[in-house]
Amino acid sequence: MHYVFGIFVAVCVLMNPISPQTAFAEGEDRKFEVPELLVEAEKAQLIQKTQTALGKFEATKGTLTVPSNLEAAEIIQRTPGGVNVVDAKAFEDKFAINFEDTLTLVPGVFATKRFGEEVRISIRGSGLERSFHQKGLWALQDGVPFNAGDGSGDFQEVDNLTLQRMEVYKGGNAMQYGGTMLGGAIDMISKTGQSDPGHRIRLDVGSDDTYRTNYQSGMKYDDSDSFFSLTGSMSDDYRRHADQYNIKLNTNYGKQLSGSAETRFYFTANHINLQLPGTVTLGTALSTPRAAQTAAVTDNQQRDINSYRLSNKTTLDLGDGRFLNFGGFVTDKSLFHPITSFVGVIDQDSNNYGVFANGNGSYTLGGFKNEYRAGITTYAGYTDAKVYKNIGGNRGALTGDSDQFAANVIVYGENHLKLTPELTFILGGQYVWSLRDVFDRITPTESDSDTYESFNPRVGAMYQYDKNVQFFANATKSYEAPDFSNLTQGGVAKFVRLEAQEAWTLELGGRGQSGRFGWDVSVYRAWMNNEFAQFTTGGSIPSTTFNADETIHQGLELGLNVQLANDVFAGGDSFAWNNSYTYSDFRFAGDAQFGNNTIAGMPPHFYRTEVRYDHREDWHVALKMDVVSSAMVDYNNTFSAPGYSIFGFETGYDVNDKLSLFFTGKNLLNEEYVANFSTAVTATSASSLFYAGDGRRFFAGMRLKL
């Protein structure tokens, strides 16, 4: 498949030739104006604290539609709850292909690889029933909704190389951006011609015939900018029958309509081919980790995606610290997905579309300063869903043919009342309406439809203890309607009767810095009703979803960064110790069948740490460790996946201001472990539920500015 890279290089040259004529047409730089919600002294304090509590951020250039990383970090800290900003500089100098690599040190985010670029991601137990695909999280790309109409999604359609940062809003803290789900939201912010001007080429190579190449071009003009990125990748991956071949195109163009208005268009295209190795028994996962499930090979299980997405975001500066954002998106996606012989070949063509508008600003009422954010999002999706008998990965006889339609309306608002210079009271609310409808073309009597709606209140407070420390508390209701995978189990029509999942979550915590220490901590407890729980009945039979009655999710999310030493070997060098710890305690609450058992699917202890040395701006090296406890696999709590510890390292060297080299080593001791698993009512040593973790692997790369 090396022809992919020949085509890739040719396309790069033809589409964006490098010449003096394409050098940046520098116009007058216009500074992005952050809403004047804080006096200058307060803003300076937040910026100082941001650089330790949430990380260090590059001084990138922002615009109206895409604020800079530092501006975003300042704004996000007005949230009375668990939030994080991850600068792309944290993962650009290593081989990062999925959210396990990019969000590795964000406390509260459980992201572990299944295979290829697909990860299982959960925040506070969101999507715990699902060991595949995106579930329980509100995803945005550049502030524009990313989820499909039924709330699901595929994060492997995101190219991490095109991001300048990732914003994580845990739990109810996503309400201010329309998030309704238990896990909160992740907003993936793209590079622009302003933030990343110039031409760059990147090459990565590594274990298991892994290759990735990327070309990027950022352009600045008098009143506009553009960004272009094309990535080609291929890998045999660690396990057998897990080959992948991907091409990803990302572009955006921003235009200043006036000194107070800007619009930006985004276009992405993905061609993703991924073989699926399937699940195996625990014994096989630990003794023969490269092995694929026999049925996965026989049935030639795959997940192939061709997708296109066009979106727009327009921002107006209305003056006096008031801003209005609006836009929309449309996607076209085809999915060819041969899985088990029981289900067959899932063959879908879908279109998703939506519009949104939100505004923020400040006002004074009764002598008290208030800050607000309010908006509306409506989005929908139509899927032509066919299922065929699986004949060695090819379409056989048609066994299912249905039209799936989902629609959603979300109206939300949040107000911050500044009672004193130190104390802020937060009040918010959200109305959610969702429709799920399926028409069975083969058996119309199997058609079904259902609607779901809820009002979700939110109340909170934030206290500025001193210039470097904040404390916060909030209570928020979350709500999530089932998606079509929940409702049409086994790839057929006729809904399984499911209620929407809802929860009240109480959160307490704080963030700040003191001397060499930066910290970010949240404790939470969620009282849930109708939690989606899922179990696998057999290796070739799809998972079944049901509503649990009452459940409890509670835990601790702790981020701790310590500047160990400065100026050790040379002026300007430093040692840092960075930590992320997540404690999760998820239980049934007096369930008729499972009592107070632990809900299967999540290890109670999940710890990641690194010790990093930076030699000025020239080179760095980091030693890394993951420590994960054992985790219950079944709801009867009779079988568990063993815990593990794995070690890795990263190093990078900036040869000059144009050329950078980097090297990554993963699982250095070649530990055999289980990275992920599906859940069951009762599991045994014969249950095929487990995804083996990758063994020892190495990757090297270079990045060149042209």
DSSP per position, 372-406: EEEEEEEEEEEEEEEEEEEETTEEEEEEEEEEEEE
Per the structure block, which two tokens stand in for 462? 């934030």
What are the pLDDT digits (tens) for 129-184? 776 677 889 999 999 999 999 998 888 899 999 999 999 999 999 998 889 999 99
| Position 52 confidence tier, pLDDT thresholds 50, 70, 90 | very low
Question: What CATH number does residue 54 fall under?
Answer: 2.40.170.20
Q: Is 386 exposed, middle or buried (0-12, 13-18, 19+ CB in 10 A)?
A: buried
Of the candidates 691, 625, 667, the one whose C-alpha atom is nearest the C-alpha of residue 207 is: 667
Model-wide pTM > 0.85: yes
Q: What is the mean pLDDT of the chain?
A: 89
| Position 118 confidence tier, pLDDT thresholds 50, 70, 90 | confident
pLDDT at 31 over 70: no
What are the pLDDT digits (tens) for 643-676? 999 999 999 999 999 999 999 999 999 999 999 9
Q: Tell me, what's the pLDDT at 494?
A: 72
Q: Tell me, what's the pLDDT at 114?
A: 87
| Position 58 confidence tier, pLDDT thresholds 50, 70, 90 | low
Mean pLDDT across 232-257: 97
Q: Tell me, what's the pLDDT at 460?
A: 97
Domain range enclosing 167: 3-705
pLDDT at 5 over 50: no
pLDDT at 556 over 50: yes
What are the pLDDT digits (tens) for 628-639? 999 999 999 999
Residues 338 and 625: their CA atoms lie apart, in Å, by 36
What are the pLDDT digits (tens) for 439-477? 999 999 989 999 999 999 999 999 999 989 999 999 999
Lowest-confidence region among 167-176, 277-286, 529-538, 589-598: 529-538
Number of independent structural domains in the chain = 1
> Which residues, 6+ apart, have CB-to-CB distance to 49 below 8 Å?
77, 467, 468, 469, 470, 511, 512, 513, 518
What are the pLDDT digits (tens) for 321-343? 999 999 999 999 999 999 988 88
CA atoms within 13 A on the CB side of 520: 27
> Which residues, 6+ apart, have CB-to-CB distance to 365 below 8 Å?
none
